[in-house]
Amino acid sequence: MPVIRHFLSTYLSVIDRYLLREFALNLFAVTSVLWLIFVATRFARYLAQAAVGNLPSEVIFTLLGYSSLGALSVLLPMATFLGVMLALGRMNADNEITVMSACGVPHRRLVRNVTLFAGSIAIGVAVLSLIIVPNVLSGRYELEQRAKMSADTSGLIAGNFKESRNGDWTFYSQGLSEDKQGMVNVFIEIHRDTRPLVFRSDKGRFEIDSETGNKYLVLEQGYRYEGKAGDQDFTIAKYKTHSLMIEKGEAKQVHERHKALPTSLLWQRGNAKDLAEVQWRVSSAVMTLILSLLAISLANVGPRKGRYAGLFSAILVYIIYSNLLGVTRAWVTKGIIAPLVGAVWVHVLMILILVVMVNKHKIRYHWLQYQLRKQQEAM
């Protein structure tokens, strides 16, 4: 802290420190509110899963920690944008920006401080999105899958028969292994009208494929009986290991796993889906800087309009920007547009809008001059 304080006091003036402090305070407030909303929503979701037995209750807070940390790369761009927007909106409403201009503080100095603040946050967002968050999401994914397997195993009562949800098969286990992760003396009957299928094994365990999300029951050291007793085609097969898919993975699980892959691996593989994910991660940092610069113009709504006058426009701009990035991500994944173009056109479009908004007074002046010349020529 003393080193940072010395740096700020040496290289930044009082006005600069004041602006950066206002941005930081508003950023902290907005991030706290958004983070609490996210945590409350995710906590309710985990509680609902634990209530129906799909998730052990002891891992809820660990998963919540993983999820809340992973959400920072999404929350920080919006929080930075709104933080700068609210700070400048209050300063405009209190005529502080006007006073600064009257005292000789140029507008480019305000732009410089916003760029310095948003650029620092953008670097942090880039580190989060490209390095930290994929590792966090990978840990959350692995823990969540192990927790679901543990819930499936612990939900089986030793010595009792359990029927599947759709009634296609009946399961029996004599007991659990010592580590509570496996089963012993497993019996499974798959109901068929023509050729019933029965499995018996000494051991059994649940496994989830990390890529597809498919859930398998792996049986070890057992026998497979197919057909009706007494039929000529009745078969008995001995196996060392046999896998039964008991639940097909959802598309959401595949998507979650893909988001948890390291950026270096995605870049190395280089297919359209992987490059779309890399562009999405980079876009979080780029949009942090562009939106913060847009906040300068959006906050300057004129006198006597209040500090929150431009908030609706700011939220609308963020929704349009993020949705365009999401649509472009889907287009790149499906091969509609080339990965080389990707999200670049969205950022270029927003930069053009930024240039127009920054120079709107000059554009309006030249437009009025043009209209005046046309009227003079018509006369």
Tens of pLDDT, residues 225-247: 887 766 667 788 888 888 877 66
Give Cα separations from 9 to 4, 6, 133 (angstroms): 9, 5, 34
Mean pLDDT of 94-108: 81
Q: What is the pLDDT of residues 7-38, one digit of tens each?
A: 566 667 788 888 899 999 999 999 999 999 99
pLDDT at 370 over 90: no
pLDDT for res 164: 62
**CA proximity to 149, closest of 211, 198, 218, 203:** 218
This prediction's pTM: 0.75
Give the other-Cβ count within 10 Å of 299's Cβ: 24
Q: Is 118 left (phi over 0), alpha (psi -120 to 50) or beta?
A: alpha
Mean pLDDT, rounded, of the chain = 81
The residue written with tokens 């819930």 in the block is 151
Q: Is 69 left (phi over 0), alpha (psi -120 to 50) or beta?
A: alpha
Mean pLDDT of 71-99: 87
Distance between CA atoms of 342 and 325, rounded to whole angstroms?
A: 9
